[in-house]
Amino acid sequence: MKIAIIGAGVSGLSCAHELEYYGVNPLVYEDTDFIGDREPHVTANLDIADRPIKDLLVYFNEMCHMDIKPVNVVKKLTHYFPNNKRTLKSDNFGYFFRRGKEYNSLIGQIYSKLKKTRIIFGQKPDVKTLSEENDFVVVANGRPDITKKLKCWNELVSGWIKGAIVKYDFDPTELIVWVNRKYCKSGYAYLCPYDSKKASLLLFVPYISKIDIDHYWKQFIEIEKLEYNILEEFYVEHFSGYVYPHKFKNIYFVGSAGGAISPLLGFGQTNSISMGVFSAQSIVEGMDYESLISNVIKKELSMYELRKSFNRLSNRGYDNLLKVMALPGLKHLFYNTNINIAKYGAGALKLGNKIFKKE
C-alpha cells in the first residue's frame, strides 16, 4: 500500500507510527528541515478536557501503542480571574509536555519510535499530485490551507498567541491560568513550567489581528504585575475550525488540519494523536474514519457552544464562574468525576450568574 503523509508533526507521525504497527511504511513530506516545533514551549493536557480518557499516558500506551513521558504531572491548578484567585490541588490533574526540537519533546518521543518510515525534508508537495500517485494521502500539516482549498473548512475561532520563555521561581507541577477581558477578551493566558526556574508563558486573544497582540500582552504583564525575566518571545496564529468531510476521496485530514484544536481552550494534542492513529486504522482496516473520530468531533462541537457563551462573558461573569466552580459539590463533580465539561459547563455559567448576580 502506498501512503503519503503531509507534515511530520504529532498527528502525522502518530499516523506513521500506527501504520508501522500494522506493517505499512508511509512516506512523510515535511516542509521544514527538522522534526519538532518552531517555537519551544511547554504544553498542558488536563484530564477535564480529555474526558472520557481517564489517564492520558495509559491511553497513549494502550490505544496508540506509544510509551510517552511527560515533563511533569500537573498537581496544582491556579486560576487568576479578574477579582478572584483560586488554587486547586490534586495528585494528578494531567500532564505537562515539552514542545520543541529536543529528543524528549512530545514530537521527539514519537519520532524516536519510528523504525521504517521515510521522511523527506524541505518539501511542500501538491496534495492533488500525491492523491493521484498514492493509495492514500494523510494531510497532517497543522494548518487549514489544504482543507480550505478543498472547501472542507469552516472557521470557528481565530486569533493570535504571543508566547515567551520566562525565568523566575516556579512550582514545576503548577499550571497557572489567567482570564480578564481587559487583556485577553474571551481568550486566556497560561504558564507551564519546564522546571523550577524556567516556564513558557502564553497569551491567546481571539478575533484580533497580529498587530494588536503586543498591546494586549503589555496590558497582561502590567495588570497581573508579572515580574518574570523574559528570555525569548514568539508569535503564533491560532485557529480552530470544523472540518467536513474528514475524508475527501482518498485524502484524510488529521490533527489541526482536520479541526482537532478545541475551540474553547486550544487543547489539540490528544485529538491530533488520536486522529493520526484513527486515520491509520481506517486506511488499513477499511473502517469508516468519520465514525472512528465521531466522539472527538462531537466533544469539540459542544466545546464550541461553550466558547460562544465565553465570548459573551463579562469580567463579573468570569468571577461568578470561578465561585460556582468552587462550591464543594460542583468542585467535586467537575474535577473528581468523569462528567462531560462541555455538556455541563454552560449550565455552570448560568448558575454562577444566577447565584452571585447581586454581589
Contacting positions for ligand FAD (CB under 6 A):
6-12, 29-32, 39, 41, 43-45, 124, 140-143, 161, 163, 202, 236, 255-257, 260-261, 266-269, 272
Helix axes 269-285, 56-64, angle to 10 degrees: 20
Give the CA count within 13 Å in the CB-facing half-sphere of 17: 28
The three cell numbers locating residue 49? 478536557
Question: Is the bond preceding residue 125 a cis peptide, omega within 30 degrees?
Answer: no
Pick between residue 11 and residue 282 the one whose CB is nearest to ligand FAD.
11
Residues 127, 251 contacting (CB under 8 angstroms): yes
Query: 127 or 349: whose CB is closer to ligand FAD?
Result: 127
Extract the C-alpha cell encoding 79.
Answer: 486560576
Shortest distance, CB of residue 37 to ligand FAD, whole angstroms?
Answer: 7
Nearer to ligand FAD by Cβ, of 180 and 240: the residue is 240
CB of 46 to ligand FAD, least distance (A): 8
Cα-to-chain-centroid distance, residue 336: 22
**In the complex with ligand FAD, which residue's Cβ is closer, 202 or 296?**
202
CA distance 53 to 299: 12
Q: What is the 3-state secondary structure (H, E, C) of 341-352?
A: HHHHHHHHHHHH
Distances (CA, A) of 241 to 11, 25, 145, 265, 327: 16, 30, 12, 13, 33
Q: Name the phi and psi angles at 167, rounded to 5.
A: -115, 140
Query: To the nearest whole angstrom, how small is the minimum distance from the Cβ of residue 213 to ligand FAD?
Result: 12
By beta-carbon proximity to ligand FAD, the closer residue of 60 and 352 is: 60
Least gap, CB of 358 to ligand FAD (angstroms): 36
Smaller CB separation from ligand FAD, 269 or 282: 269
Spatial CA neighbour of 35 closest among 98, 97, 101: 101
Closer to ligand FAD by Cβ: residue 53 or 327: 53
* Helix residue spans in the chain (DSSP H): 10-21, 47-50, 56-64, 106-112, 127-133, 145-149, 181-184, 213-223, 269-285, 289-292, 294-311, 315-325, 328-336, 341-355
Nearer to ligand FAD, 189 or 349 (CB): 189
Cα–Cα dist 223/233, whole Å: 19
